[in-house]
Chain A
Amino acid sequence: MTESVTPVVSMDAITKTFPGVKALDSVQLDLYAGQVTALVGENGAGKSTTVKILTGIYQPDEGTIRIDGDPIRFANANAAGDAGITAIHQETVLFDELSVAENIFLGHAPRNTFGLIDSRAMHEAASKLLESIGAMFSSRTKLRDLGIANKHLVAIARALSVDARVVIMDEPTAALSHKEISELYELIETLKTQGKAILFISHKFDEIFRIADHYVVFRDGAFVDKGLIADISQDALVEMMVGRTVDHIFPEREATVASDVLKVINYGHPTEFADISFTLKAGEILGFYGLVGAGRSEFMQSLFGITRPSSGVCEINGKTCNIRSPADAIANGIVYVPEDRGKQGAIIGLPIFQNITLPSLGQTSKSGFLRLVEEFKLAREYSERLDLRAASLDQDVGNLSGGNQQKVVIAKWLATRPQVIILDEPTKGVDIGSKAAVHDFMAELAAQGLSIIMVSSEIPEIIGMSDRVIVMRDGRIEVELSDKKLSPETLVRHAAGITTTPQMAEV
């Protein structure tokens, strides 16, 4: 590792103002060659704006960016690319129908003497890049044939293809499974040895402490602190980030003895899952843990009537219910808050109040005719209960932030007065402050007697929130755990299908 005194990139007193908002207020950030700097902050702290300034998408109002100590201005995204800065975004835009090599070199493919794309050279260069990051697939593979983790490798190869000196990773692990994440760590180590300066943005503290060398904390667009990861504790970092002490992130809950609400017997599907049986009590939070692809979401969507199961029975309060569509599920008191908020959750283009009342129109309307007064009343009741931040209820839901869109989706379901609410990755991509609010709210709902199924890939959340945990693997229930003192190791072992030895269970 090179000991560099001068940072590769340094941002000094950068200020960026948008109409009505000061997104960044005189912040500083240094990135060093061969080292990982973690940028930590809640949603709205200015992380995205920082990335956009570093990649030339926004121009700062004040302050200087220096590369190797020399001041520079990026007129546009190309200028930042030319300076060797590249970013891998949360959802990098790739093209399913193109080959891996074409994705990597789109826009800067090697040309032959006629000015046409030199396919041979392109594939050679792509193979070399893929090899350097440990990818096991051919450069000629169509992108759509790759899994999400391998797509991520393509995105990384694309970032490296421009011969970057600075790599920005914005929540790179959000969609990855456990194994894929550890592969990403190895890749980051490789990049470090190649002398790249890495800016790493993540909400997951275990990741930050595992791979970062430096930390920088932003809060509400202002610089708070920076230093070496080795010199700081996790609690201190969280405290700086939220500006207050977070002593316990998860709400204390009393487990209550109650009757069974939902009983699922032998649910099966030809390809996705089999032999799923469990019960859910009133006021209980049942966690579903498993690796990506374990069939959790597929099962939940089947329970919600999106796909029809090939076998199995579902009972609500002892009565068998025949669920053939989401409308049937809702009528039976089962609702589902999907993971994919943008596509399956909110209906962008419709106002907030219409989103909230959509499944409850039977309740607000009279003989099939809309009653707007009733709709506004219902929508107001639940948006205020969820502390929705909106200018008005007739505002397009697309104008809200991601967190507030999620509130609209939850409000929509609570308005139907469900008995069972299924939350699929409820806090994915949500910052730590809002996460605690979501968890508090879940505990409150459970205390009111609502039964909750929580699908989550975050171990602390599963352990902190669930009364019981079902671990799924390869479409089947691996184990049901109701021990209050669950260890993360136990969960991971079951999810990965590693047989637990007696000694391990003691740990």
Chain B
Amino acid sequence: MTETATQTRHIPDRLNSRAHSVFRSWEALLLAVAVAIFIVNSFTSPYFLNAWNLSDATFNFTEKAMIAFAMAMLIIAGEIDLSVASIIALASTAMGLAVQYGAGTTELVAIGLIVGIMCGAFNAFFVTVLGLPSIVVTIGTMSLFRGISFIILGDGAFRGYPSDFAWFGQGYVFWVITVEMVIFVILAAIYGVLLHKTNFGRAVYAIGNNPTGALFSGIRVQRVKFILFLLTGLMSGLAAICLTSRLGSTRPSIATGMELEVVTMVVLGGVNILGGSGSIPGVVIAAFVMGLVTFGLGLLNVPGIVMSIFIGLLLIGVIALPRMWSIINARRHKP
């Protein structure tokens, strides 16, 4: 080996510089979209460029984004969890029930997180131990979890949360910076590091690109997937705490339809719905884009139903754009 080592050819690490690939990335394009929407909004409504209004607008996305970070990793690994909004309902109901028995804020937070994790474990069991497809399992648990909330609550609602519990959804850390915003930023950093800078994150990409190949490379595929479902459940529990705290009450219809908004955010952020690629910075920018769009349309008094048309168009546009982008790129690079 030592004799042949002298005549080997050198292979460079990278062909393009990192700056070059960042500039050409999906995230860069999305950031431009976000800036454009910001500028358009500031021209169309005089109320847009107001610190307090902007601060209020962040509630449009912070809770969804908490779940979206975990969901992004799950989708990159080739799985999906459609039960997240129902986990919120169940976790919120459990907290509301605990309030009736005199639970304090600490207990409520613990209950919210534990119910979230347990729901995640329930999904994970069917997907990783029994090997069922996650889309089917979580469509099932989507009905199951919310169904339990309906049985417990019926037409009623839980109220009477302790006053210091309101801190999570209504509190400010300083000036216009909300508690939820701070949680969002901290989670973005944690998930960004987890996905992009750790062995665990590398395993997630490997599994998403080729689960068999990952298994044959010694990755504990089912264990990684199990953890990802737990994380998604945990984030849903956290979102349930924030949302319940903000609303101050629990109804079984809480967060209805939020799972699709979370998936929209993830896909908008450039995560491949088939798994294998995507990034946390992309999801962060997508969260801002969605927040800005709903807030801007809200300021213009656009009714909710029209807003959902906009979100739908945004999603389809976003799925079509990368394809169009790559076709254009391929044309341009043809010699």
Q: A interface vs B, CB < 8 Å?
A: 19, 304, 306, 325-327, 329-330, 336, 338, 343-350, 353-354, 358-359, 361-362, 365, 368-370, 376, 380, 383-385, 387-388, 390-395, 412, 444, 448
B14 pairs with A354, CB closer than 8 A = no
Are B220's CB and A327's CB within 8 A? yes
Closest-CB distance, B288 to chain A (whole angstroms): 27
B199 within 8 A of A: yes
Instruction: Show 23 residue pairs from A and B whose CB-CB distance is below 8 angstroms, ordered by the A residue.
Output: A304-B216, A327-B220, A338-B216, A343-B210, A344-B216, A345-B216, A347-B214, A348-B213, A349-B205, A349-B208, A349-B209, A350-B209, A354-B202, A358-B206, A358-B219, A359-B218, A368-B198, A369-B198, A370-B198, A376-B13, A380-B11, A391-B12, A393-B14
- B25 interface residue per 8 A CB criterion: no
- Once the chains bind, are B13 and A370 in contact (CB under 8 Å)? no
Residues of A within 8 A of B212 (CB): 343-344
Partner of A390, one of B4, B11, B198, B201: B11
B215 touches A392 (CB 8 A): no
- How many chain-B residues does the 8 Å CB contact rule pick out? 34
Chain B residues near A306 (CB-CB < 8 A): 215-216
Q: Which residue of A lies closest to B334 (CB)?
A: A19
Asked if B15 lies at the interface with its beta carbon under 8 angstroms from chain A, I say yes
> Which of B5, B197, B218 contacts A385 (CB under 8 A)?
B5
Q: Are B14 and A394 in touch, CB under 8 angstroms?
A: yes
* A370 & B209 in contact (Cβ 8 Å cutoff): no
B53 on the A face (CB < 8 A): no
Interface residues, chain B, with chain A CB atoms under 8 Å away: 1, 4-5, 8-15, 197-202, 205-206, 208-210, 212-220, 276-277, 335
Residues of A within 8 A of B277 (CB): 349
CA distance A346 to B14 in the complex (A): 19
A108 to chain B, nearest CB (A): 32
A387 and B199 in contact (CB under 8 A), knowing A306-B216, A347-B206, A392-B14?
no
List the A residue with the shortest CB-CB distance to B8. A384
Complex interface: chain B residues within 8 A of A343 (CB): 210, 212-213
List A contacts of B213 (CB < 8 A). Answer: 343-348
Q: How far is the CA of A348 from the CA of B213 in the complex (A)?
A: 9
Q: Which residues of chain A are within 8 angstroms of B276 by Cβ–Cβ distance?
A: 349
Q: A343-B212, A343-B213, A392-B14 known; A368 and B199 CB under 8 Å?
A: yes
Q: How far is the CA of A347 from the CA of B208 in the complex (A)?
A: 10
Contact across chains for B219 and A327 when beta carbons are under 8 A apart: yes
CA distance A220 to B12 in the complex (A): 27
User: Min CB distance, B224 to chain A, in Å?
Assistant: 11
B10 touches A358 (CB 8 A): no
Which of B9, B15, B200, B219 is the one whose CB lies under 8 Å from A395?
Answer: B15
Residues of A within 8 A of B216 (CB): 304, 306, 326, 336, 338, 344-345
In the complex, chain B residues whose CB is within 8 Å of the CB of A347? 206, 209-210, 213-214, 217
* Structural contact, B199 and A384, CB atoms closer than 8 A: no
**Cβ–Cβ < 8 Å partners of A353 in chain B:** 13
Q: How distant is the Cα of A260 from the Cα of B212 in the complex, in angstroms?
A: 31
CB nearest neighbor in A for B193: A369
Residues of A within 8 Å of B215, CB to CB, are 306, 326
With the chains together, A380 CA to B202 CA distance in Å? 19
Q: A329-B218, A380-B11 given. 8 additional CB < 8 A pairs?
A: A19-B335, A343-B212, A350-B209, A358-B214, A358-B219, A359-B217, A365-B198, A385-B4
| Cβ-defined contact, B217 with A412, below 8 A | yes
- CB of A444, distance to nearest CB on chain B (Å): 7
Could you tell me the distance in whole angstroms from the C-beta of A359 to the nearest C-beta in chain B?
A: 4
A304 to chain B, nearest CB (A): 8
Complex: how many Å from CA A340 to CA B277? 24
On chain B, the residues within 8 Å of A448 by CB distance are 1
Nearest Cβ on chain A to B236's Cβ, whole angstroms: 25
Chain A hits for B217, CB < 8 A: 326, 347, 358-359, 412
Q: How far is the CB of A153 from chain B (nearest CB, A)?
A: 28
**With A344-B213, A347-B210 in contact, is A385–B8 under 8 Å at CB?**
yes
Q: Please measure, in the bound complex, the distance between the C-alpha atom of A369 and the C-alpha atom of B192, giving whole angstroms.
A: 12
How far, in whole Å, are A119 and B270 apart by their CA atoms in the complex?
47
A378 to B210, CA, bound (A): 22
Give bound CA distance, A415 to B200, whole Å: 19
- Nearest-neighbour CB distance to chain B for A301, whole angstroms, equals 9
Question: How far, in angstroms, from A347 to B209 measured CA to CA in the complex?
Answer: 6
Known contacts A347-B213, A384-B10: does B5 contact A394 (CB below 8 Å)?
Answer: no
